[in-house]
Chains A and B, each alone.
Chain A
């Protein structure tokens, strides 16, 4: 792949039947592009958990995806209520999910930690009352590197809200 492919998905906060549709479309696209299955799996989990979060916590938003030669980048932007304490929100089991989430089968407080686990880099920025942006990067070569037993280059810790 020489050129970066840019995709944008609008995510509705009210059409619950459509929740997860963008993730499904992205998955199909990655498959068509011949991205390795294990990479698709990690991107799909990141995107789907993030998409559902925008639906259940923020009344929808926009997902921008860039597929480059080495990495897949995802920006999930919403103008929802924001996250007051990001460190707390990242803890397994922490959830403020209400009935809307429960009815969809979500609200275990597992989404953000799983997105963190499945991505190679994740940054959450949020302003209470204004919205949340989640950035994630999934390295395309990583699964192959792991499989061949090569040592991986750990990404350096960044101060601030990098988690």
Chain B
């Protein structure tokens, strides 16, 4: 699924990485615990998380994940955005809960890892 479609479905705002909204993710993983992300994500998936902290960006970077969606309306600070931009990671945020955001994406065809 292309990132711009994810943005549309979640009614999300893009905080950085607008230029790569036409890239695809093949799956998604929703989690607030980064070591679970590091254990389960197998491919270039989308990360949905409520953990608004630099480790979300570092974790995504370690796994070559190209996009993070922060849920529950949490806004990352400028340090996090800068880190993501430097690493070529698109950051979006949406007001939905993790369950709802995941559910909308799943029912639109984006499966889990």
Contacts and interface: CB of A to CB of B under 8 A. Distances in A.
A111 B87 CA distance: 23
Given A24-B58, A114-B39, A106 B64 contact: no
B54 interface: yes
B35 A49 contact: yes
Contacts, number: 71
Interface SS, A side: helix
B36 interface: yes
Given A110-B36, A110-B38, A24 B64 contact: no
Nearest to B49: A105
A103 B58 contact: no
Interface SS, B side: helix
Interface string A86-123: 00000000000000000111111111011000000000
B33 interface: yes
Contacts of B34: 52, 104-106
26 contacts: A19-B58, A20-B55, A20-B58, A23-B58, A24-B62, A24-B87, A27-B62, A37-B64, A41-B64, A45-B38, A48-B58, A49-B38, A52-B55, A104-B34, A104-B53, A104-B55, A105-B33, A105-B51, A105-B55, A105-B59, A106-B34, A106-B55, A108-B33, A110-B33, A110-B36, A110-B39
Interface of A: 17, 19-21, 23-24, 27, 37, 41, 44-45, 48-49, 52, 103-111, 113-114
